[in-house]
Chains A and B, each alone.
Chain A
Amino acid sequence: MDWLDNIIKTFFDFGAMAKVLPQLLGIGLVNTLVISVFATVLGIFFGMILAVMGVSKTAWLRVPARVYTDIFRGLPAILTILLIGQGFAKFSQQLFGPSPYPLGILALSLIASAYIGEIFRAGIQSVDRGQLEACRALGMSYGSAMRLVVIPQGIRRVLPAMVNQFIAIVKDSSLVYFLGLLTSERELFRVGQDAAVLTGNLSPLVLAGLFYLIITVPLTHLVNYFDNKFRTGRRKATPPKSGLEEVEETLSPTLTRGENA
């Protein structure tokens, strides 16, 4: 069973894993989460702007949003990250210091916002037109109607898609290493990769992979759980009531019960 030993040694060397575990936990996991969460928050912010522009009646708002989305969705992530990370490095250095994080996060969020914008736009457009009309018929402005009624409904519908997007960002965060990271700045992939190179064994990378799964898999199930809860859980269980009794509700007791009662 030589081949089995080989496989275990190459991928599942627990000694090598144990060695790299503190670094993966203390540095890699923290940095991956920091990058991903910041990129997501920024991406949601930009994405919401794009979505609102995208559903606008004004071509001056809609077309730029379209062009932006096409560009950032169509380019390979690595290309965008390198162009922004290196292209604006000097500018970033003056503002944030030498860390490549701000630009890496910015690049990731620009990419993500193109997808998030489309997700939000689809959600907003899936809300029945009658909702907007009902608001307008009550004298509410377009902005108020969108903010208070339409967008909240749209967002709720696309929550599962948003979690998928977060998962994509977590995975893409590994690309930030292309911008050059200090030892303390390395995220999961880079920590695993360094250890793998150092030991000539792939087990640290496998462990890094496990960490990615630990972040992403529970999220998927969590969102499904909440999705179900939102859709069905809020329903009040009331005993069925005959529609025939309803007509009584509209006859106030002060009125004489005529032939309608």
Chain B
Amino acid sequence: MTYTSPVPVADGHFYAGSRLEIQNLVMAYGDVEVLKDVSLTVEPGTTTCIIGPSGSGKSTLLRGVNRLHEPKAGSVRIADDDALKLQPDVLRRRVGLVFQHFNLFPDHTALQNVALALRNVKKMPKAEAERIALERLTEVGLAERADHRPRDLSGGQQQRVAIARALAMEPEVMLFDEATSALDPELVKGVLNLMAELGQRGMSMLVVTHEMNFARKVADQVVFMDEGYVVEAGTPDELFDHPKSDRLRLFLSEVL
């Protein structure tokens, strides 16, 4: 397995992660309910990993939190605000999302990828946006590749640019949607290292992942979802070593 354990962080940039509280969330595509009743809380500066079989509604949940897909019922609170009452664009500035397939802008260099929303959304002057973009790229270990276009970067590097792009907006919560699933095996660890480091630097993170070792070592809380419900939630020890439900036992026997 690729992930061993997080490296302690002593200095550098720290983030002010917010509390994220999801209550009785229901989401549907048309008439098909894919999320039936999901409640979970990410405490400030902690990492929650969501595991579960495909079709369990993990990705849908993330898209509901930043309202790329509008929830049907329930509530999402970020810090003290009702996320479903905020302007979607305002909410999305406070919630970073990292996609499975990176979704970098192919015509833009790594630096421009990170700087674009700073300029367009935060209305920063070019020089300032690029200064911040370079800072974030340095943080993800890609300062030297700032002028490369996505196709001149490896999958792992592209995903780290995507993380830098989301971080540049200074979100209070980061969502990761199977961020390492599309990567070659030897590139996974670099991205996981970075994610673990973010957690240590105070970011609140909700991570959908298939990397069980990452969930075990890094998560403060693990949530097992199946068929649109939270089946079990608890500490990594509780879920991985003492699973209560048959579904989780079955799932773990399949993936471990």
Contacts and interface: CB of A to CB of B under 8 A. Distances in A.
B169 to A, nearest CB: 6
A57 B35 CA distance: 25
Interface string B125-154: 000000000000001111000001101101
B116 interface: yes
Interface string A236-261: 10100101101111111011111110
Given A246-B187, A260-B193, A128 B10 contact: no
B14 to A, nearest CB: 13
A235 B103 contact: no
B142 A249 contact: yes
Interface residues on A, range: 35 or more
Contacts of B140: 249-250
B189 A260 contact: yes
Contacts of B165: 138
Contact of A247 (B8, B101, B117, B193): B193
B189 A255 contact: no
A117 B149 CA distance: 29
B117 A140 contact: yes
A236 B110 CA distance: 14
Interface in A106-142: 128, 130-131, 133-141
A139 B93 contact: yes
Interface string B150-180: 0110101100101001100100000000000
Interface in B85-135: 88-90, 92-93, 96-97, 99, 101, 103-107, 116-117, 120-121
A193 interface: no
B5 interface: yes
Contacts of A137: 66, 68, 92, 96-97, 99, 166
Interface of A: 128, 130-131, 133-141, 144, 148-149, 152-153, 156, 234-236, 238, 241, 243-244, 246-252, 254-260
Given A131-B105, A137-B68, A138-B165, 20 more contacts: A131-B103, A133-B99, A133-B103, A134-B103, A134-B162, A136-B88, A137-B92, A139-B121, A152-B107, A234-B149, A246-B154, A249-B140, A249-B157, A254-B10, A255-B8, A255-B10, A256-B7, A257-B7, A258-B7, A258-B8
